[in-house]
Amino acid sequence: MKAFSLALLTSVIAFAPEVFATDNLRESIAADYDNNLEELFVHFHRNPELSNFEFETAKRMAAEISALGYKVTEGVGGTGLVAVMENGPGPVVMIRADTDGLPLEEDSGLPYASTATQVGANGEEFSVMHACGHDVHITALIGTARQMAERRDQWSGTLVLIAQPAEERISGARAMLEDGLYERFPKPEYALAFHVSSGLPSGKIEIPLDAVASSSDAVDIIVHGIGTHGAYPHMGIDPVLVASQIVVTLQSVVSRTIAPMQPGVITVGAIHGGTKHNIIGRRVEMQLTVRSNDPEVRLQLLDGIDRVADGVGRSFGLPEDLLPEVHRSPVETTPPTINDRQTAERVLTAVSREMGAEYLVSFPRDGMGAEDFSYFVQPGLGVKGVYFSVGGTPEYKMDEAPPHHSPFFKVEPEPSVKSGVEATVIAAMELMPGG
């Protein structure tokens, strides 16, 4: 861990506006956590739901938030929820939390571990767990809704709260937009969200000033072959061998196609083909994920996959009608998430001022995770986004922190929820001053 850059913090704070009153915000959040938020978190953790099937989660969130005086609309983009509180003139600020769990059987050892199962879109039953911390996010959204409702005399503008489905399939944000999110409801000038991280110390805040998450594209490749007996390979064309060569050659797209200082990832996550030891089959299916931080690099990687699949197929002598097919998912795709620098600086300054600089940390990115929050703030929409992280692992346990999307995943809910609510409320009030 390293503390937030002193030079950067000093330069940002130099432009800090006047301090606003938060009326013992931290104490109020702590009381709310003890009285209700802890119970809510346990409820959400025990009852996760798959992407696009977050029916009960949405119902509980609608009940909690509508009781605070927000105008709540359910069923936006499927199982999405939108809550609006108009509070005088001023900017519109949107705060988003994602709601879905993952198809994993929990093995965290927590006393409130999920034992839930759910039938997915394919008709198959899955174990489900919150293996990415979305239970923290939705609990904190309810906590934020309460604090903002109680402090209406301290801010002016319109607050829009979003409970978004299907983030794990990077499709829920787009579905809400396609369902008229920015036409049916007040369009935000600013959008806020956070993600709890098992890779950060509990309760600490990281607010990047630029790139936060990478683009992500799901790509399927169907490799055809000419079937034959496994003892007579010369009489056919082995699609397993063709697929294997494609896997190896794809790595040259990253190492020899894009600039060395530009990050990019092509990962083959699944290969399915064949039926028996001694049969050379006719088909292999491959599933890939593609990541980048730059739109041009993203296109280079995707075009490279097309070239490699086609070229390897031809090199093995496949006829034109049996060349590999490359299909890019129209659903599981998202551009990179990039914070608006000026707005991120404002939020960072306010959080440092109100919570204390000791709450801020900064880590170099060590992976290429993706986030469909990017759709809410994509260029051309005029929405300035700030996406930050909240730590969820005790500092003395950082070396053994379980990764996200693992059956062992767990975070400390109390400091995660409390800091998530506090930082979000501070950010929202910074962007909607007055009252």
Q: Where are the alpha helices (DSSP H) in 179-278?
A: 181-184, 239-257
Assess whether pLDDT exceeds 50 at residue 6: no
For position 331, what pLDDT does the model report? 87
User: Spelled out in words, what is the top-level CATH class assigned to the domain 215-333?
Assistant: alpha beta
Assess whether pLDDT exceeds 80 at residue 323: yes
Q: Is 61 helix (H, G, I), strand (E, B) or coil?
A: helix
- The percentage of the chain sitting over the pLDDT mark of 90, rounded to a whole number, equals 91
What is the rounded distance in angstroms from the CA atom of residue 6 to the CA atom of residue 135? 33
Sign of CA dihedral 46, 409, 119, 139: positive
User: For residue 391, what are the CA distances in angstroms to 114, 117, 210, 349, 354?
Assistant: 22, 28, 19, 19, 18
Mean pLDDT, residues 112-119: 97
CATH superfamily of 6-214+336-431: Zn peptidases (3.40.630.10)
Structure token digits, residue 318: 């496949």
For position 15, what pLDDT does the model report? 42
For position 159, what pLDDT does the model report? 98
- Checking DSSP bridges between strand 157-164 and strand 92-98, what pairing results, if any? parallel
Q: For residue 363, give the amino acid letter.
A: F
367: closest CA among 229, 219, 267?
267
Q: Is 378 helix (H, G, I), strand (E, B) or coil?
A: coil
Q: Where are the alpha helices (DSSP H) in 38-171?
A: 38-46, 55-66, 134-150
Task: Tell me if 242 sits within 8 A of 324, measured CB to CB.
Answer: yes
For position 435, what pLDDT does the model report? 60
Structure token digits, residue 275: 């039926």
Q: Which residues contact 324 (CB under 8 A, 6 or more apart)?
A: 221, 222, 223, 224, 242, 246, 309, 310, 312, 313, 318
334: closest CA among 240, 215, 428?
215
From the number of C-beta atoms within 10 Å of its C-beta (0-12, 13-18, 19+), residue 158 rates as buried
pTM check: above 0.85: yes
Assess whether pLDDT exceeds 60 at residue 18: no
Each residue's pLDDT tens digit, 205-234: 999 999 999 999 999 999 999 999 999 999
Higher pLDDT: 390 or 379? It is 390
Mean pLDDT, residues 392-404: 93
From the number of C-beta atoms within 10 Å of its C-beta (0-12, 13-18, 19+), residue 102 rates as buried
Each residue's pLDDT tens digit, 24-81: 999 999 999 999 999 999 999 999 999 999 999 999 999 999 999 999 999 999 999 9
Residue with tokens 């600020």: 93
Assess whether pLDDT exceeds 90 at residue 125: yes
Neighbours of 379 (CB within 10 A): 10
- The b/e string for 408-421 (b: 16+ C-beta within 10 A; e otherwise) is ebbbbbbbbbbbbb
**Confidence tier at 4 by pLDDT (50, 70, 90):** very low
383: closest CA among 160, 135, 137?
160
From the number of C-beta atoms within 10 Å of its C-beta (0-12, 13-18, 19+), residue 302 rates as buried
What is the rounded distance in angstroms from the CA atom of residue 164 to the CA atom of residue 376? 11
Q: How many residues does the chain have?
A: 435
Q: Which residues contact 216 (CB under 8 A, 6 or more apart)?
A: 170, 289, 290, 291, 332, 333, 334, 370
What is the rounded distance in angstroms from the CA atom of residue 366 to the CA atom of residue 364? 6
178: closest CA among 372, 388, 382?
372
The gap from C-alpha 82 to its chain's centroid, in whole angstroms, comes to 18
Each residue's pLDDT tens digit, 156-193: 999 999 999 999 999 999 999 999 999 999 999 999 99
Kindly report, as residue ranges, where domains of CATH 3.40.630.10 are found in the chain: 6-214+336-431
Kindly report, as residue ranges, where domains of CATH 3.30.70.360 are found in the chain: 215-333
Mean pLDDT, residues 112-135: 96
172: closest CA among 380, 331, 369?
331
Mean pLDDT, residues 370-390: 96
Q: Where are the alpha helices (DSSP H) in 168-320?
A: 172-178, 181-184, 239-257, 295-315
For position 23, what pLDDT does the model report? 64
Mean pLDDT, residues 347-376: 93
- The b/e string for 319-357 (b: 16+ C-beta within 10 A; e otherwise) is eeebbbebeebeebbbbbbbbbeebbbbbbbbbbbbbee
What is the rounded distance in angstroms from the CA atom of residue 47 to the CA atom of residue 116? 6
Each residue's pLDDT tens digit, 85-106: 999 999 999 999 999 999 999 9
Phi, psi of 270 (to 5 degrees): -155, 140
For position 363, what pLDDT does the model report? 85
Mean pLDDT, residues 255-282: 95
For position 13, what pLDDT does the model report? 43
For position 12, what pLDDT does the model report? 46
Residue with tokens 């001053």: 433
List of E strands, 17-142: 71-76, 80-87, 92-98, 117-119, 125-127
- The percentage of the chain sitting over the pLDDT mark of 70, rounded to a whole number, equals 94
Phi, psi of 407 (to 5 degrees): -65, -15
